[in-house]
Structure 1
Amino acid sequence: MDGTLNNTHSINLGSSGRPLPDNLLAEILSYLPAKTFFRLLSVCKTFRQLSSDSHFLLSQSYHNNVISGFFPHDRDFSGPFCLVDPYAGVPSSSLEFLFRKGKIVGSAGGLVFVLHKKDASLCVYNPVRGTRCQLPSPPGKHCNWGGIAVRFMNDGDGVTKSYRLVYLSRYSVRSKLHRCQVYDSSARVWTMDKELDFGPLELHLEHPVICDDVVFWASSYSFSNEIDQYVVAFDVRKERTQIIPLPKEAAVACSDTIGIGMWEGKSLCLMHYETCTWVIGLWLLRKTNDGPPGWVRAHEVSLGQLGFRQPRNVSYVMLREVATTTSLVFTVDSEAYSYDIKDGELKKLGSLGYSYPPLIPYFNTFRPCGEEEELFVDKRREVE
């Protein structure tokens, strides 16, 4: 931020009438969600300048790397935005624009990736800032319907600038092959376009889990009793695929639901909702010294003990971590809930408008879309 805040009014937030240094003030403000910070823009020139300072935007994105809401979305329907953090939010004008343009295929770090209806091209948006950046067309044919996984790169001081995007789509339900395309935002080029065998089942493409250079996807249920569900691990750097079977104790029936997430930022976690018992079981993937990784039962949540009095349809489960708190987010029919695993508190997040909605997480940050980003709405509109 060298020279960014010169000749501006200092804000007196220090003790004994002494104003805080500009850099320290900027550091403090970078912990605010985007919605809360936007309400301060009319306070002084300093805050307005921070809203366009690239280092501040990235610092705020780094400090707000927690899920603040969800987009209920599938191929044919766009539901209401489901807010988790009351201090965060997305302008309604941005939501209307995104849903009108195409289908949300993924979201990461405050960026929302949309597959445009008109030409099947990919575009990245920051809805809270009202900015967007068109991604260059990948080689070969247009993108099919699929999902994205994003890993943000680190420049050495904790502030991430560029990212690597993995776009995965399936050719057809009869094919075992998936099309895997990798995009480097720093070079603005697609570095991979390959056909890969990720097993015979369809994958939950909208809900990947990323750990370093490895991307994980969970398979969906097969009506064929001959095929068990599994988790796919794909090492982007080594271009290596591994099929990880589910634990035998977590046999998945046709009405069950599974999901994956990261437990405490270091262990892959499998979540299995068993319809016949109304229980969500959590399994952690542990490495072994002399064999393949194995699953260890870590926790379980009973919907019956939480107050649900009849068998319910749970179509989505995921983990949300904030500081030392881990919450299980799940949908029951058309309602979304959050359960704090540590203190046992259950919260209703809201109604999603229809049953069985997939949820795409959103982070309320200022992260830039890219070097060539442009405005698509007025970024200074009030965030609802």
Structure 2
Amino acid sequence: MDTETLYLPEDIIQEILSYLPVKTLLRFRCVSKSWYCLIGSNRFIKTHLLKSKTHLPRHERWQNIFMSNSKNPNLLFKRCPHDDLIPIDDPINHHLIRGSKFVGHINGLVCIRNLPALFFLWNPATRISIQLTKPDCELECIVKSGFGWDPQSDAYKVFAVLSKKKIRVSKIYSSKTNAWKTVEQHGSLDLVDVDGEFSNGRIHWLLRNGWIETFDLRSEVFGRIELPTKQMVGDHIWLKSWTQCDLCVVYYDSDKKMREVWLILLELGEKQSWFELELDMRACLPYFKSKPCYCIESLMPPVSHKIT
């Protein structure tokens, strides 16, 4: 019996592949040289990332990497929405120490800091990680840091303020150049948390005086946002951003019970306004009562545009 070989157009193949999970795509690189080049291409990686953010239901988009009540990794992995915790089997384990801290995450990449001043960029989905070169200065104490993405230059950036006694130096790393450069200002150091939260192209730190300090990764300029209510001062509030497009302020009372959750909105002209979330809306956001690290699955490489 005669058989007829059917061929799918190249654009149809790319469309089908762009909906597949990362683990499957990593295996499919072995199908052919053309598939290997396609899956590792910058264009395909960005297409796949966009669909990962928008195609799945909101509660299935997030991968809970570490279950911990702090930003200190404890080597336990949880795949939301399941409850089973399993040890992490990843090369990053060789770099994690008791003092390791999560700095932030964006587009599937996670930034980890080891004391005194050693940073790593890690993609949990592809198990690829790199150790950043140390900032070119003799200071080693990190007193302020943050991680985010500059959409204009399409670069992932790490900001750090290094200090020794009264000497302070601000540095910023770019994945485009794979190097650090000096920034003139360091902003306030009266912080609730050393590590800032990334949202809408800016890193945000909660200050103890009732303000939020911002650092624009494109212009490298500091700014400030006033908190929604005056009573939000002290250790009973914290910032959280899950989608990198929203920034929440969570406020607890003296009994550590959640009292208010506010979401900052950007209007035309980049004017900020606050919106208080009702109880039913809070349920749409994952895990308010803890500070685990969330990261969407992606093929995004820490520096190179090719998967190795």
| TM-score, structure 2 as length reference | 0.71
Q: Distance in 2 between matches of 1:286 and 1:91?
A: 36
Q: Distance in 2 between matches of 1:131 and 1:263?
A: 22
Counterpart of 2:299 (choices 349, 363, 366) is 366
Q: Distance in 1 between matches of 2:37 and 2:272?
A: 51
**Shift of residue 31 of structure 1?**
2.7
Aligned length: 290
Conserved 8 A contact 1:126-1:368? yes
1:25 aligns with 2:13: yes
**Shift of residue 263 of structure 1?**
8.3
The residue that corresponds to 1:230 in the other structure is 211
Q: Report Cα offsets for 1:242-288 as digits up to 9, x if no partner.
A: 3333233643465x2322437893x6442323355833423244679
**Shift of residue 359 of structure 1?**
2.4
SS at match of 1:198: coil
5 Å matches for 1:248-327? 248=229, 250-252=231-233, 254=235, 256-261=236-241, 265=245, 268-276=247-255, 278-285=257-264, 296-301=274-279, 326-327=284-285
The residue that corresponds to 1:35 in the other structure is 23
* Identity across matched positions, percent: 17
5 Å matches for 1:1-384? 19-38=7-26, 44-45=31-32, 50-65=38-53, 66-72=61-67, 78-84=74-80, 92-99=89-96, 103=100, 104-116=102-114, 120-141=117-138, 143-145=140-142, 146-153=144-151, 162-169=154-161, 171=163, 179-198=169-188, 201-212=190-201, 214-219=202-207, 228-248=209-229, 250-252=231-233, 254=235, 256-261=236-241, 265=245, 268-276=247-255, 278-285=257-264, 296-301=274-279, 326-331=284-289, 358-371=291-304
Conserved 8 A contact 2:204-2:213? yes
Larger Rg: 1
Structure 1 alignment gaps of length 5 or more: 1-16, 156-161, 223-227, 303-318, 320-324, 337-357, 376-384
Q: Report Cα offsets for 1:81-138 as digits up to 9, x if no partner.
A: 232266xx99613353342597243332222333356x84333233332333343332
Aligned letter for 2:47?
S
Conserved 8 A contact 2:103-2:111? yes
**Shift of residue 232 of structure 1?**
0.7
Structure 2 alignment gaps of length 5 or more: 54-60
Q: Distance in 2 between matches of 1:143 and 1:248?
A: 36
Q: Distance in 2 between matches of 1:128 and 1:288?
A: 34
Aligned letter for 1:185?
S
SS at match of 1:329: coil
Residues 139 and 98 (structure 1), Cα distance of their counterparts in 2 relative to 1, 3 Å cut = closer
